[in-house]
Structure 1
């Protein structure tokens, strides 16, 4: 059965405290609270630097069974290397602890810079490297370099499918040959709404449809009004009815629109949207009353 998961991009935002997060909620419990409201979240810290296995383990332990993390691939690969000679950086990324998420591991997201134009040969070389199972990811992780010595994680508890999504932001990617290449590798082309800052590509290229909503008008700031949310709900329903799994992440966090827009979209989708995995975690108490 196809499933729909609605969530947010990241969770550690000061303006959310006392608005989305209950007053008095300890910062270290914010991810735990996310798990009571949503079934998924994008993990963004992995984009900026290699994380450590103990961080991934802590994030996993803060979320309930059934919760998933979409993990953003490192900008060293996407922005600095621009997908060139990516095998060793990919091994380092995979060895940094991603596999400790276990059954919480969702798709890996690869976001290209807006300036990057389509190079089909380079893209094909990168897509050939991507592992489509956690077992293969562990094999690649074992090829990490000395920077990961003593802090690498290169095993998986069981061999699971591993999905990938690619976010592009340049009009040159409107090439049918590019979409065919993604289909051949079963990689999702991200449906990325940036308030008309870049083109939106909505044609599915895999069973997974991955949507990122960065702001209806102003990037990272604008909310989505009722009409816009109904339009996105209709699109999600069409993809779902065609047999696609759909994940949607709101990234318009600057004015605390993301979590409320995500909840509103989930309500519009009714029973086809996966709900939060738990009303509360471990304590049996209201997280909003906890300050410590």
Structure 2
């Protein structure tokens, strides 16, 4: 048995994708419809800056296929603060805006921290305790992307594991990469795309990421990644989410589709 494997991009409205990823003269209002039929997940980034009405969330739900999943980037008002323990009101406002209208198409919520935010154990523990297990009868899953080297320690890994929160694995030149699996799912952001490569990543790199995704989904532990702890997590199937984001964004859709082709190829 393995968990579900979802591969996608960040957002769906990006001008350079027009007449490139999207067909020539494709209607802008139908870009989500097109994108959701060529990748299997999208990380919504606009929610970092703005809130949306329940009708917007419901409209997105109805536009995409049944097996499609949205990850949702949490509001900056929750994470860009000196004292995370004081974010309770902002967290409640964010999760209460209507995102549960996505229903079964709601994937993980991504809580991304500034690169200047250091690991302060008591404050981070208090923040993780603020993350709700559900909202209006819909189960919520949480992933945190930390971007300061001080988080690369066993205390943080154990803290996230105790909270059932996934630590995002970021393939990045700028931020620490923590490959330890801490939650019931895996969330990876592939941020090193290069425009010189048609798919952003080389074929060899895509082969390696396909193998890593299969291992994660089956409960395994890919070799060659940076781990904080020596001990592996319990071996169990895990839903796995892989997003091509940042880097050479122009290449993100092609990279996601190339990875999906590898994952869907006969064994």
Indicate whether the TM-score tops 0.5. yes
Distance, in Å, in 2 between the alignment partners of 1:54 and 1:160 is: 17
Aligned residues: 246
* Cα distance between partner residues in 2 of 1:51 and 1:44: 12
Matched, 1:201 2:167: no
User: Partner of 1:40 in structure 2?
Assistant: 41
2:227 is the counterpart of 1:250? no
- Distance, in Å, in 1 between the alignment partners of 2:252 and 2:52 is 25
Alignment of 1:223 onto 2:200: yes
Q: Which has the higher contact order (CA 8 A, sep 6+)?
A: 1
1:18-45 per-position Cα deviation (integer Å, ceiling 9, x unaligned) = 1000112110100011121122111111
4+ aligned runs moved over 4 Å, structure 1: none
CA distance in 1, matches of 2:167, 2:256: 21
TM-score of the two chains, using structure 1 as the length reference? 0.79
CA contact (8 A) 1:213 1:251 kept: yes
- Alignment partner, residue 173 of structure 1: 151
Alignment partner of 1:108 is 2:106: no
* 1:68-217 correspondence to structure 2 within 5 Å: 68-80=69-81, 83-133=84-134, 137=135, 156=136, 159-194=137-172, 196-216=173-193
Shift of 1:84: 3.6
Deviation at 1:213, TM superposition (A): 1.0
Gaps of 5+ in 1: 138-155, 273-292
TM-score (norm: length of structure 2): 0.86
- Aligned mates of 2:125, 2:3 — CA distance in 1: 28
Q: Is the 8 A contact 2:9 2:252 kept in 1?
A: yes
Match of residue 265 from structure 1: 259
Name the structure 2 match of 1:238: 215
Measure the CA separation in 2 of the matches of 1:246 and 1:235.
10
SS at match of 1:60: helix
Q: What is the deviation of 1:52? A: 1.8
Q: Distance in 2 between matches of 1:169 and 1:225?
A: 25
